[in-house]
Amino acid sequence: MADQVKRELKRLQQGKATGPDNVCPRVLRACADQLSRVLQRLFNLSLCLEKVPVLWKTSCLVLVPKKGRPSVLNDYRPVALTSHVMKALERLVLSHLRPLVSSSLDTLQFAYQPNVGVKDAIIYMLQRAYSHLDKAGNGHLLYKKGQSRLYFLRRLRSFNVCSKMLHMFYHSVVVSAIFYAVVCWGSGIRAVDSNRLNKLIRRASSVIGSGLDPLEVVAERTMVSKPEAIMDNVSHPLYDMLVEMKSTFSNRLIHPWCDRERYRRSFLPSAIRLYNASTLRLGRGNIDSDLFLD
């Protein structure tokens, strides 16, 4: 146990500020050989009595300026300084608890894991996203699902089901397969996949006996309505971002800067372009109606 305490004391960073107990980590690290047995007794006594000294669980809140000349409270970053002795005890307890719960941890947990952090989470997320987007079979999967739903639509027509019921079946069953999450991939779909899905829609249109909106129209309509829904929901994660993009001179949204074509064709930039175009058309329509009324 004394060797474990010594190892944890040696791991302390010398440049860190002291906590409320005013014990400097430089002293703990330099005197690790002499203090290891003393702290071992204190740690064991604290665990046996199930009590922690007040100074060990107290923190000092220090405001660190974010910029050179802070003027408001938001210009400061609060930093809590805790006891370095308590940090050593926490690491010792963690070293005993981790083997007991490691088998129950989620494989996708990146926090509080050794040699794993935020960078690893970002790398994993981007790898999964890019590898999924790079697959050529995504559009093919949607096409196969749409074909299977279209089969049932044809079967219904063979039983002389009325056109109204066929139309309801298409919008409730077939559309969910063809346009699944179209707001996410509608702007970046390949031309080959788009043509195949539109071909499927035309087949469904011939079965129903009435015209149906193609993929581009549905994707545009969905992507235009999404920014409006986000800006109407203050709890949405993208609410603050879209509100900051609002123009002070019109109802348009400021288009984000795009260095890469992949980002330019992603949801947010594409949705903003479509939203601005629809706003412009709506404004022109209002002007024309005003002129007509005059």
- The DSSP line for 23-51 is --HHHHHHTHHHHHHHHHHHHHHHHHHT-
**What SS3 class is residue 253?**
strand
- Alpha-carbon distance values, 113 to 69, 85, 92, 102 (Å): 37, 21, 15, 10
Q: State how far the Cα of 238 lies from the Cα of 258, in Å rounded to an integer.
A: 18
Q: How far apart are the first and last CA of the chain?
A: 91
What is the rounded (10 degree) CA torsion for 19, 21, 25, 28?
-160
Output the pLDDT for position 28: 92
Q: State how far the Cα of 252 lies from the Cα of 123, in Å rounded to an integer.
A: 34
* Distance, CA of 147 to chain centre: 32
Residue 81 contacts residue 19 (beta carbons within 8 Å): yes
Residue 13 contacts residue 25 (beta carbons within 8 Å): yes
Half-sphere exposure of residue 205: CA atoms within 13 angstroms, side-chain side: 12
Query: Structure pTM?
Result: 0.49
Q: State how far the Cα of 231 lies from the Cα of 240, in Å rounded to an integer.
A: 8
Q: State how far the Cα of 52 lies from the Cα of 55, in Å rounded to an integer.
A: 8
Residue 265 contacts residue 211 (beta carbons within 8 Å): no
Output the pLDDT for position 89: 93
Site of tokens 């109802």: 251
- Read out DSSP for 191-249? HHHHHHHHHHHHHHHHHHTS----HHHHHHHHHHHHHHHHHT-TTSTTHHHHHHTB-SS
Output the pLDDT for position 294: 38
Residue 83 contacts residue 56 (beta carbons within 8 Å): yes
Q: In tens digits, what is the pLDDT along the chain, a chain of 294 residues?
A: 788 999 999 989 888 889 899 999 999 999 999 999 999 999 999 999 999 999 898 999 999 898 888 888 889 999 999 999 999 999 999 888 888 888 888 878 888 777 778 888 888 887 777 666 665 556 677 888 888 889 999 999 999 989 889 999 998 888 888 887 777 777 777 788 888 889 999 999 999 988 899 988 888 888 888 888 888 888 888 888 888 888 888 888 888 888 888 788 888 888 888 888 887 766 544 434 333 333
Among 219, 212, 139, smallest CA distance to 169 is for 212
Output the pLDDT for position 287: 35
DSSP letter, residue 123: H
Output the pLDDT for position 291: 31
